[in-house]
A = this chain, B = another copy of it.
Protein backbone atom coordinates (compact mmCIF):
# COMPACT_ATOMS: atom_id res chain seq x y z
CA UNK A 1 0.00 0.00 0.00
CA UNK A 2 2.91 2.39 0.73
CA UNK A 3 3.14 4.64 -2.33
CA UNK A 4 5.95 7.16 -2.57
CA UNK A 5 6.29 9.98 -5.09
CA UNK A 6 9.24 12.31 -5.60
CA UNK A 7 8.89 15.37 -7.81
CA UNK A 8 7.91 19.00 -8.16
CA UNK A 9 5.39 21.14 -6.33
CA UNK A 10 4.78 24.38 -8.16
CA UNK A 11 2.70 27.46 -8.64
CA UNK A 12 1.54 27.71 -12.24
CA UNK A 13 0.16 30.50 -14.36
CA UNK A 14 -2.01 29.10 -17.11
CA UNK A 15 -3.54 30.78 -20.12
CA UNK A 16 -6.19 29.11 -22.23
CA UNK A 17 -8.25 30.66 -25.00
CA UNK A 18 -11.01 31.16 -22.44
CA UNK A 19 -9.25 32.44 -19.36
CA UNK A 20 -6.05 33.02 -17.41
CA UNK A 21 -5.31 31.78 -13.90
CA UNK A 22 -2.29 32.83 -11.89
CA UNK A 23 -0.40 31.09 -9.11
CA UNK A 24 -2.48 27.93 -9.07
CA UNK A 25 -1.16 24.80 -7.41
CA UNK A 26 0.74 22.55 -9.80
CA UNK A 27 3.84 20.42 -10.24
CA UNK A 28 4.29 16.81 -11.30
CA UNK A 29 4.30 15.32 -7.80
CA UNK A 30 1.31 17.46 -6.85
CA UNK A 31 -0.88 16.17 -9.67
CA UNK A 32 0.34 12.62 -9.09
CA UNK A 33 -0.38 12.78 -5.35
CA UNK A 34 -3.88 14.17 -5.71
CA UNK A 35 -4.75 11.46 -8.27
CA UNK A 36 -3.12 8.58 -6.37
CA UNK A 37 -4.62 9.85 -3.10
CA UNK A 38 -8.04 8.79 -4.44
CA UNK A 39 -6.85 5.19 -3.98
CA UNK A 40 -4.24 4.94 -1.21
CA UNK A 41 -2.38 7.17 1.24
CA UNK A 42 0.50 8.87 -0.58
CA UNK A 43 3.94 9.78 0.69
CA UNK A 44 5.20 12.93 -0.98
CA UNK A 45 8.81 14.05 -1.22
CA UNK A 46 9.64 17.42 -2.73
CA UNK A 47 10.64 20.97 -1.98
CA UNK A 48 8.72 24.23 -1.70
CA UNK A 49 9.74 27.79 -0.91
CA UNK A 50 8.88 30.05 2.00
CA UNK A 51 5.98 31.39 -0.08
CA UNK A 52 4.15 28.06 -0.14
CA UNK A 53 0.62 28.70 1.10
CA UNK A 54 -0.36 26.89 4.32
CA UNK A 55 -3.81 26.14 2.90
CA UNK A 56 -2.17 24.17 0.07
CA UNK A 57 -0.43 21.94 2.58
CA UNK A 58 -3.77 21.57 4.36
CA UNK A 59 -5.42 20.48 1.10
CA UNK A 60 -2.78 17.78 0.69
CA UNK A 61 -3.36 16.43 4.17
CA UNK A 62 -7.12 16.34 3.66
CA UNK A 63 -6.46 14.30 0.48
CA UNK A 64 -4.64 11.56 2.39
CA UNK A 65 -1.19 12.80 1.46
CA UNK A 66 1.68 12.61 3.92
CA UNK A 67 3.66 15.78 3.17
CA UNK A 68 6.26 15.26 5.90
CA UNK A 69 8.80 14.65 3.12
CA UNK A 70 8.18 18.09 1.65
CA UNK A 71 11.07 20.30 2.62
CA UNK A 72 10.54 24.03 2.95
CA UNK A 73 13.66 25.82 1.70
CA UNK A 74 14.72 29.42 1.64
CA UNK A 75 13.55 31.00 -1.58
CA UNK A 76 10.53 30.82 -3.81
CA UNK A 77 8.51 27.79 -4.91
CA UNK A 78 9.01 26.47 -8.47
CA UNK A 79 7.03 28.57 -10.98
CA UNK A 80 5.81 27.53 -14.42
CA UNK A 81 3.66 29.44 -16.85
CA UNK A 82 2.22 28.28 -20.15
CA UNK A 83 -0.35 29.01 -22.78
CA UNK A 84 -2.57 26.55 -24.70
CA UNK A 85 -3.78 26.98 -28.26
CA UNK A 86 -7.43 26.33 -29.06
CA UNK A 87 -6.72 22.72 -30.07
CA UNK A 88 -5.26 22.03 -26.58
CA UNK A 89 -2.44 20.05 -28.17
CA UNK A 90 -0.13 22.98 -28.70
CA UNK A 91 1.38 24.27 -25.51
CA UNK A 92 3.79 27.17 -25.24
CA UNK A 93 5.92 27.38 -22.12
CA UNK A 94 6.11 31.08 -21.32
CA UNK A 95 8.39 30.86 -18.32
CA UNK A 96 10.04 28.32 -16.04
CA UNK A 97 11.59 29.47 -12.73
CA UNK A 98 13.21 26.52 -10.99
CA UNK A 99 13.69 28.55 -7.79
CA UNK A 100 14.12 26.18 -4.79
CA UNK A 101 13.90 23.17 -7.15
CA UNK A 102 17.18 24.17 -8.82
CA UNK A 103 19.23 22.68 -6.01
CA UNK A 104 16.71 20.02 -4.98
CA UNK A 105 18.50 17.27 -3.11
CA UNK A 106 15.83 14.67 -2.45
CA UNK A 107 15.73 13.36 1.10
CA UNK A 108 13.39 10.45 1.64
CA UNK A 109 12.44 10.48 5.34
CA UNK A 110 13.47 7.32 7.21
CA UNK A 111 9.83 6.44 7.80
CA UNK A 112 9.21 6.43 4.05
CA UNK A 113 12.19 4.31 2.99
CA UNK A 114 10.20 1.08 3.22
CA UNK A 115 7.88 2.26 0.43
CA UNK A 116 6.94 -0.55 -1.93
CA UNK A 117 5.46 1.47 -4.78
CA UNK A 118 7.56 4.33 -6.10
CA UNK A 119 6.91 6.98 -8.71
CA UNK A 120 9.81 9.14 -9.83
CA UNK A 121 8.07 12.15 -11.34
CA UNK A 122 9.82 14.19 -14.01
CA UNK A 123 13.16 15.57 -12.79
CA UNK A 124 16.81 15.29 -13.82
CA UNK A 125 17.65 11.56 -13.98
CA UNK A 126 20.49 12.06 -11.47
CA UNK A 127 17.99 13.49 -8.97
CA UNK A 128 15.57 10.64 -9.65
CA UNK A 129 18.37 8.11 -9.14
CA UNK A 130 19.40 9.75 -5.88
CA UNK A 131 15.84 9.47 -4.61
CA UNK A 132 15.54 5.84 -5.71
CA UNK A 133 18.80 4.99 -3.95
CA UNK A 134 17.18 5.91 -0.64
CA UNK A 135 14.31 3.43 -0.98
CA UNK A 136 15.19 0.10 0.61
CA UNK A 137 13.35 -2.54 -1.42
CA UNK A 138 10.96 -0.96 -3.90
CA UNK A 139 8.59 -3.52 -5.35
CA UNK A 140 7.49 -1.57 -8.41
CA UNK A 141 9.16 1.63 -9.56
CA UNK A 142 7.82 3.80 -12.37
CA UNK A 143 9.72 6.71 -13.86
CA UNK A 144 8.60 9.69 -15.91
CA UNK A 145 10.90 11.93 -17.93
CA UNK A 146 10.85 14.65 -20.58
CA UNK A 147 12.50 15.64 -23.87
CA UNK A 148 15.01 17.89 -22.07
CA UNK A 149 16.57 14.92 -20.23
CA UNK A 150 16.46 12.62 -23.24
CA UNK A 151 18.44 15.28 -25.02
CA UNK A 152 20.82 16.50 -22.31
CA UNK A 153 21.15 13.63 -19.80
CA UNK A 154 20.76 10.55 -21.95
CA UNK A 155 23.41 8.42 -20.24
CA UNK A 156 21.94 9.14 -16.79
CA UNK A 157 18.47 8.35 -18.08
CA UNK A 158 19.60 5.05 -19.63
CA UNK A 159 21.27 4.07 -16.34
CA UNK A 160 18.01 4.82 -14.53
CA UNK A 161 15.92 2.87 -17.03
CA UNK A 162 17.92 -0.26 -16.19
CA UNK A 163 16.79 0.07 -12.56
CA UNK A 164 13.06 0.71 -12.89
CA UNK A 165 10.10 -1.53 -13.63
CA UNK A 166 8.21 0.80 -15.92
CA UNK A 167 8.57 4.08 -17.75
CA UNK A 168 5.86 6.55 -18.73
CA UNK A 169 6.46 8.36 -22.03
CA UNK A 170 4.42 10.43 -24.42
CA UNK A 171 4.60 9.77 -28.15
CA UNK A 172 7.17 12.50 -28.82
CA UNK A 173 9.44 11.34 -25.99
CA UNK A 174 9.25 7.71 -27.11
CA UNK A 175 10.27 8.67 -30.64
CA UNK A 176 13.06 10.90 -29.39
CA UNK A 177 14.43 8.27 -27.02
CA UNK A 178 14.47 5.47 -29.59
CA UNK A 179 14.62 7.10 -33.02
CA UNK A 180 11.63 4.97 -34.05
CA UNK A 181 8.62 6.75 -35.50
CA UNK A 182 6.25 3.80 -35.21
CA UNK A 183 5.07 3.84 -31.60
CA UNK A 184 4.86 0.08 -31.15
CA UNK A 185 8.40 -0.31 -32.44
CA UNK A 186 9.47 2.58 -30.21
CA UNK A 187 7.87 0.94 -27.18
CA UNK A 188 9.57 -2.34 -28.05
CA UNK A 189 12.91 -0.56 -28.26
CA UNK A 190 12.33 1.02 -24.84
CA UNK A 191 11.73 -2.46 -23.36
CA UNK A 192 15.17 -3.34 -24.69
CA UNK A 193 16.60 -0.56 -22.49
CA UNK A 194 15.60 -2.29 -19.28
CA UNK A 195 12.08 -1.62 -18.01
CA UNK A 196 9.58 -4.48 -17.98
CA UNK A 197 6.75 -2.20 -19.03
CA UNK A 198 6.30 0.92 -21.13
CA UNK A 199 3.25 3.13 -20.75
CA UNK A 200 2.90 5.22 -23.87
CA UNK A 201 0.53 8.19 -23.63
CA UNK A 202 -0.97 9.69 -26.77
CA UNK A 203 -3.05 12.48 -25.19
CA UNK A 204 -6.52 12.70 -26.71
CA UNK A 205 -5.75 9.49 -28.64
CA UNK A 206 -5.43 7.35 -25.54
CA UNK A 207 -2.55 5.23 -24.33
CA UNK A 208 -1.08 1.77 -24.47
CA UNK A 209 0.87 -0.50 -22.19
CA UNK A 210 3.49 -2.85 -23.57
CA UNK A 211 5.40 -5.52 -21.68
CA UNK A 212 6.54 -9.06 -22.30
CA UNK A 213 3.34 -10.43 -20.80
CA UNK A 214 0.86 -7.72 -21.79
CA UNK A 215 -0.17 -5.43 -24.63
CA UNK A 216 -3.18 -3.28 -23.86
CA UNK A 217 -4.43 -0.25 -25.72
CA UNK A 218 -7.29 2.05 -24.80
CA UNK A 219 -8.83 5.33 -25.94
CA UNK A 220 -8.88 8.50 -23.88
CA UNK A 221 -12.07 9.12 -21.92
CA UNK A 222 -14.10 11.45 -24.17
CA UNK A 223 -14.05 14.74 -22.30
CA UNK A 224 -16.26 17.22 -24.13
CA UNK A 225 -15.20 20.36 -22.31
CA UNK A 226 -11.51 20.58 -21.53
CA UNK A 227 -10.67 23.37 -19.08
CA UNK A 228 -6.92 22.94 -18.53
CA UNK A 229 -4.78 20.02 -19.78
CA UNK A 230 -1.92 20.78 -17.36
CA UNK A 231 -1.02 17.75 -15.26
CA UNK A 232 -2.93 15.18 -17.32
CA UNK A 233 0.11 12.94 -17.67
CA UNK A 234 0.97 13.03 -13.95
CA UNK A 235 -2.68 12.49 -13.04
CA UNK A 236 -2.67 9.47 -15.34
CA UNK A 237 0.40 8.10 -13.56
CA UNK A 238 -1.27 8.81 -10.20
CA UNK A 239 -4.44 6.90 -11.05
CA UNK A 240 -2.37 4.07 -12.50
CA UNK A 241 -0.01 3.73 -9.54
CA UNK A 242 -2.73 4.41 -6.99
CA UNK A 243 -4.78 1.52 -8.28
CA UNK A 244 -1.76 -0.81 -8.53
CA UNK A 245 -0.72 0.02 -4.95
CA UNK A 246 -4.27 -0.48 -3.71
CA UNK A 247 -4.52 -3.84 -5.46
CA UNK A 248 -1.08 -4.90 -4.27
CA UNK A 249 -0.02 -6.79 -7.38
CA UNK A 250 1.23 -6.18 -10.90
CA UNK A 251 -0.58 -8.94 -12.75
CA UNK A 252 -1.48 -8.13 -16.37
CA UNK A 253 -5.14 -7.76 -15.41
CA UNK A 254 -4.29 -5.31 -12.62
CA UNK A 255 -2.14 -3.31 -15.02
CA UNK A 256 -4.93 -3.22 -17.63
CA UNK A 257 -7.42 -1.94 -15.08
CA UNK A 258 -4.82 0.52 -13.81
CA UNK A 259 -4.58 1.95 -17.34
CA UNK A 260 -8.33 2.64 -17.19
CA UNK A 261 -8.04 4.26 -13.76
CA UNK A 262 -5.17 6.42 -15.03
CA UNK A 263 -7.31 7.47 -17.97
CA UNK A 264 -10.14 8.34 -15.60
CA UNK A 265 -8.03 10.46 -13.23
CA UNK A 266 -6.44 12.24 -16.20
CA UNK A 267 -9.92 13.00 -17.57
CA UNK A 268 -11.03 14.55 -14.27
CA UNK A 269 -7.78 16.51 -14.14
CA UNK A 270 -8.38 18.29 -17.45
CA UNK A 271 -11.93 19.24 -16.49
CA UNK A 272 -10.72 21.90 -14.06
CA UNK A 273 -7.84 24.27 -13.48
CA UNK A 274 -4.97 22.96 -11.41
CA UNK A 275 -6.05 20.01 -9.24
CA UNK A 276 -9.46 21.56 -8.58
CA UNK A 277 -11.70 19.10 -10.44
CA UNK A 278 -9.61 16.08 -9.47
CA UNK A 279 -9.27 16.86 -5.78
CA UNK A 280 -13.03 17.16 -5.41
CA UNK A 281 -13.76 13.70 -6.76
CA UNK A 282 -15.00 10.89 -4.58
CA UNK A 283 -13.89 7.34 -5.17
CA UNK A 284 -17.48 6.55 -6.19
CA UNK A 285 -17.31 9.14 -8.98
CA UNK A 286 -14.03 7.69 -10.16
CA UNK A 287 -15.46 4.18 -10.19
CA UNK A 288 -18.54 5.38 -12.04
CA UNK A 289 -16.39 6.82 -14.82
CA UNK A 290 -14.23 3.67 -14.79
CA UNK A 291 -17.37 1.65 -15.50
CA UNK A 292 -18.37 4.06 -18.24
CA UNK A 293 -14.93 3.86 -19.87
CA UNK A 294 -14.94 0.11 -19.53
CA UNK A 295 -18.26 -0.01 -21.42
CA UNK A 296 -16.81 2.20 -24.17
CA UNK A 297 -13.86 -0.21 -24.48
CA UNK A 298 -15.85 -3.40 -24.19
CA UNK A 299 -16.04 -5.61 -27.27
CA UNK A 300 -18.92 -7.46 -25.62
Contact = CB atoms under 8 A, between A and B. Distances in A.
A104 B29 CA distance: 62
A216 B184 CA distance: 23
Contact of A299 (B181, B205, B256): B256
A205 B215 CA distance: 16
Interface residues on A, range: 20 to 34
A243 to B, nearest CB: 12
A219 interface: yes
Interface stretch (A72-80, A112-120, A289-297): A289-297
Contact of A206 (B86, B185, B206, B295): B206
A102 interface: no
A300 B252 contact: yes
Given A224-B184, A224-B185, A257-B300, A219 B208 contact: yes
A163 interface: no
A294 B216 CA distance: 10
A300 to B, nearest CB: 4
Interface string A37-56: 00000000000000000000
B222 A184 contact: yes
A98 interface: no
A179 to B, nearest CB: 13
A107 interface: no
Nearest to A183: B222
A184 B206 CA distance: 14
A224 B183 CA distance: 9
Nearest to A216: B296
Given A217-B222, A219-B219, A257-B299, 12 more contacts: A86-B181, A202-B205, A206-B219, A217-B296, A217-B297, A218-B299, A253-B300, A256-B298, A256-B299, A257-B300, A297-B297, A298-B299
